[in-house]
């Protein structure tokens, strides 16, 4: 706006009855009726509604106290926004003053009125303000409810809420997965945890929304590469602890590093499960299990070592679940091996973890899935029941003779084994008779 315009606007003041030539009556259904003494020159210049009402073509223009009178009807909730808009008509809105709006909610209310009354300059100023400032959550919901009804002129406000392209999603996902599987300095752990949470959120289907990202082969390949690099670092640490007697998991530096790797591997399982690419992880964990059990099992009962054991069981639970429910197919010999390795470890470790949590050992606060033990028990039963009956008998015998018989509770597997064993000869004899009849035909 030109300087001359600014000077022209400042010659009139809203409410000045000595120079006013029009009364704006703001009226509500509740009976409120406020008079604003205004100037037609100001009102008509930047507001289409007043320009129309004060034109010679408007047949119902009223005369009140030797002044033109214009009625404006509004809801009680919007009353103050109408007053603010009329006051803004007297202000030079050229971008040189930013503190006219008194917050998002007021600017949104004024914008609504400006759109309804046809005040393009104020609409533009409101849009520029709302597009630039931050919003509270409740303000964002209000904006989503109101702005889409205001047409193309208000669209810039919604720019931050628009869906992004698949390529943009892929780029940010790749950057985040690389950071989330890295080993940054300890002071960046909070940032790393946040990245992990958001990556999992991006891939999770909610009640109302599909996953943010649709994974393709390129994304799966990138995730596998990141996981392989994580495995490599974990494996180097594992080998050093396994082979060098001078190294000990109880040393502070080793504990923190190993715990960090375990936390990352536990989180990675969630991502791989969502992307349906657990096979390589399962095979790696199978190959490393003996070393992991030895290294973790030799640790002390210190808080951090107990947490490492818990994280190892969490990862193993996810691996066994993939095996037990057919997500990843392993031959019998491997299934039996992993069962014989981790079943005793879990059996011995659970009481230690339970005791540490119950007694508040060293102020320990262990974060764990409340359904971990029940889920793991069910998985053990599923894997056992898929083994040859002789292998089942071996495992169940060891379980019945063990003092830690209470967990895992393999009663279901025992009952199924007993039933199958009792009817096995009859079942197989019937199968043999059917086979003989088929051959004779």
pLDDT of 227-281, one tens digit each?
999 999 999 888 887 776 445 666 656 778 888 999 999 999 999 999 999 999 9
pTM of the model: 0.76
- Counted residue by residue, the chain has a size of 441
DSSP assignment letter at 164: P
Mean pLDDT (whole number) for 316-324? 95
SS3 177: helix
Higher model confidence: residue 24 or residue 429?
A: 24
| Mutual angle of helices 252-275 and 189-203, in 10-degree steps | 20
Query: How many whole angstroms separate alpha carbon 175 and alpha carbon 374?
Result: 36
**Which alpha helices (H) appear in 133-216, and where do they start and end?**
137-146, 166-180, 189-203
Query: How many whole angstroms separate alpha carbon 75 and alpha carbon 233?
Result: 65
The pLDDT of residue 6 is 42
Mean pLDDT (whole number) for 120-129? 92
Share of the chain above pLDDT 70, in %: 85
The sign of the CA dihedral 379, 385, 390, 395 is positive
The pLDDT of residue 439 is 42
pLDDT at 414 over 50: yes
Mean pLDDT (whole number) for 179-202? 94
What is each CA distance from 300 to 248, 260, 292, 345, in whole angstroms?
10, 18, 15, 15
pLDDT at 144 over 90: yes
- How is residue 348 written in tokens? 């011995």
pLDDT at 53 over 90: no
3 contact partners, CB below 8 Å, separation of at least 6? none
pLDDT at 137 over 60: yes
pLDDT at 61 over 60: no
Mean pLDDT (whole number) for 295-324? 85
Mean pLDDT (whole number) for 181-190? 92
The pLDDT of residue 390 is 95
Higher model confidence: residue 6 or residue 205?
A: 205
Query: How many whole angstroms separate alpha carbon 298 and alpha carbon 300?
Result: 7
pLDDT at 99 over 80: no
Mean pLDDT (whole number) for 23-48? 90
The pLDDT of residue 433 is 53
Mean pLDDT (whole number) for 119-123? 92
What DSSP assignment string belongs to 63-95? EETTEEEEEEE--GGGHHHHHHHHHHTTS--SS
- How is residue 422 written in tokens? 């009792």
Query: How many whole angstroms separate alpha carbon 175 and alpha carbon 178?
Result: 5
The pLDDT of residue 251 is 65
The pLDDT of residue 96 is 52
The sign of the CA dihedral 111, 114, 116, 118 is negative
Query: How many whole angstroms separate alpha carbon 317 and alpha carbon 404?
Result: 19
Give the lowest-confidence range in 109-113, 151-155, 354-358, 435-439: 435-439
- Contact (CB, 8 A) for 348 and 404: yes
pLDDT at 410 over 60: yes
């Amino acid at each position: 706006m030109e300087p001359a315009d600014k000077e022209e606007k400042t010659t009139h003041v809203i409410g000045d009855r000595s120079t006013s030539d029009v009364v704006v009556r703001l009226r509500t259904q509740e009976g409120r009726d406020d008079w604003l003494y205004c100037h037609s020159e100001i009102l008509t210049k930047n507001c289409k509604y007043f320009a129309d009402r004060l034109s010679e073509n408007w047949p119902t223009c009223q005369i009140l106290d030797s002044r033109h009178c214009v009625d404006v009807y509004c809801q009680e909730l919007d009353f103050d926004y109408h007053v603010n808009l009329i006051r803004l008509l007297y202000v030079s809105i050229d971008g040189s003053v930013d503190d006219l709006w008194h917050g998002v909610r007021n600017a949104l209310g004024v914008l609504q009125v400006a759109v309804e009354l046809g005040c393009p300059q104020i609409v533009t100023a409101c849009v520029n303000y709302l597009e630039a400032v931050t919003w509270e959550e409740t303000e964002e919901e209000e904006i989503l409810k109101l702005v889409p009804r205001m047409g193309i002129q208000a669209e810039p406000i919604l720019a931050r809420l628009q869906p992004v392209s698949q390529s943009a999603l892929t780029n940010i996902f790749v950057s985040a997965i690389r950071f989330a599987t890295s080993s940054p300095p300890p002071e960046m752990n909070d940032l790393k945890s946040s990245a992990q949470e958001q990556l999992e959120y991006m891939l999770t289907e909610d009640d109302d929304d599909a996953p943010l990202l649709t994974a393709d082969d390129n994304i799966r390949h990138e995730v596998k590469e990141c996981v392989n690099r994580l495995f490599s670092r974990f494996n180097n640490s594992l080998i050093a602890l396994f082979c060098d007697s001078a190294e000990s998991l109880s040393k502070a530096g080793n504990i923190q590093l190993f715990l960090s790797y375990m936390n990352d591997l536990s989180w990675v399982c969630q991502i791989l499960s969502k992307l349906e690419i657990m096979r390589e992880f399962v095979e790696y964990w199978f190959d490393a299990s003996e070393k992991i059990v030895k290294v973790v099992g030799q640790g002390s009962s210190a808080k951090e070592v107990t947490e490492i054991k818990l994280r190892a069981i969490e990862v193993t639970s996810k691996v066994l679940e993939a095996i037990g429910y057919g997500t990843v197919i392993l031959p019998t010999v491997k299934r039996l091996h992993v069962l014989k390795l981790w079943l005793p470890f879990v059996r011995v470790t659970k009481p230690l973890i339970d005791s540490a949590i119950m007694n508040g050992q060293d102020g320990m606060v262990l974060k764990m899935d409340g359904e971990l033990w029940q889920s793991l028990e069910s998985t053990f039963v599923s894997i056992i029941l898929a083994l040859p009956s002789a292998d089942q008998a071996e495992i169940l015998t060891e379980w019945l003779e063990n003092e830690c018989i209470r967990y895992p509770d393999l009663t279901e597997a025992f009952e199924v084994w007993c039933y199958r064993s009792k009817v096995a000869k009859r079942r197989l004899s019937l199968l043999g008779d059917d086979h003989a009849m088929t051959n004779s035909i």
